[in-house]
Amino acid sequence: MTDAALPRLAMRRKSRVSRGVGHAGWGRTIGAGVVSLIYFFPVLWIVLTAFKSHSDALAVPPKWLFTPTLENFVQVFNRAYSADGVAVDTKFDLFFFNSIFIAGTSVALALIIGTLAAFGFSRYPLKGNQTYLFIILTTRMLPAIVVIIPILIMFRVTGLAGTYVGIIMLYTAFNLPFTIWMMKSFFDELSPDVEDAARLDGSSDTKVFFKICMPQVYAGIAATAVFGLILTWNEYLFALLLTGVQTRTVPVAMAQTIGGDIGVRWGLLAAIETLFLIPVILVTFFLQNHLLRGVTFGTVKR
């Protein structure tokens, strides 16, 4: 470092302090950029691969410059299953619909049930409240594979296997512990005085919940929804074993495209993944302001 640079550096340090966050300086910005790129690289590579032809996708060393093609995206929905076969409908439109419908419905159900339950746990504690909460969480302490056989048998016996109702019920049940715990922590943060003030202002308990408590935890609901959605969206094991041809979700269908007579079609897989990313990215993007407030709830003095 030259002597001339020293006063400038000192000045920059000073201004950084006075201007607070958001002025971390070039060094840190570039550092953060490099780390972000390392994290983002797999996603970037998948998106690039989605636009490559089969030979470009397999090229060694990897090709950075290539002629982009939409062929893979077309093939997601319509392709031949053998080299000389006729292109047929892959039903991927149905699988995408299934993924959206099943994840969306089960997350919404878990939010409705979980939010009400969480409010109960927070505001009307039972005798042994903590024990109940703990028991609810224990369902998430086992790996899913441990319970898969009894669940499989239950689904066979009740005829729920392969139905929307079955898989939605299961995902709802699996989302509930997380939803209840998250939402309870948000409700716990609220001032009970505010609710009492509303009661004195003439509101019934139902109105207190909907008009006073709920609007204060929208950020929490958004955060919980995004986390639940991501978990459900990517779920593979239950979907593999408990959905049928009509209710198959994208992760299962994606895995089943592997194979056939030309080996793994990386371009095709990448195209499916790229499409599969879009809904979650959109949801997260629209909720991101709430998300940040949601996950930092209670850490800032109000």
Six token digits for residue 17: 């302090």
Opening angle at CA 249, ends 243 and 253, nearest 5: 100
The residues that bridge with 88 in the sheet, in sequence order, are 79
Rounded to the nearest whole angstrom, what is the least distance from the CB of residue 20 to another protein in the complex? 19
Residue among 129, 203, 234, 284 that touches another protein (CB under 8 A): 203
Rounded to the nearest whole angstrom, what is the least distance from the CB of residue 295 to another protein in the complex? 19
* Pairwise CA distance, residues 249 & 239, whole Å: 7
Q: Which is nearer to another protein, 197 or 262 (CB)?
A: 197
Q: Does 69 bind another protein (CB under 8 A)?
A: no
Which residues lie closer than 8 Å to 232 by C-beta, 6 or more apart? 102, 103, 106, 107, 171, 174, 175
Residues within window 162-191 making contact with another protein, judged by CB under 8 A: 191
Q: Which is nearer to another protein, 21 or 200 (CB)?
A: 200
Binding footprint of another protein, residue count (CB under 8 A): 16
User: Alpha-carbon dihedral of residues 241, 245, 250, 251, nearest 10 degrees?
Assistant: 20
* Pairwise CA distance, residues 298 & 215, whole Å: 16
Residue among 110, 198, 242, 254 that touches another protein (CB under 8 A): 198
Q: Which is nearer to another protein, 140 or 293 (CB)?
A: 293
Q: Does 290 bind another protein (CB under 8 A)?
A: no
Rounded to the nearest whole angstrom, what is the least distance from the CB of residue 221 to another protein in the complex? 13
3-class secondary-structure state, position 89: strand
Q: Which stretch binds another protein (CB under 8 A): 58-66, 195-203, 223-231, 242-250?
A: 195-203
Query: Is the Cα dihedral 130, 132, 136, 142 positive or negative?
Result: positive
| Positions that interact with another protein (CB under 8 A) | 191, 193-194, 196-203, 207, 212, 215-216, 302
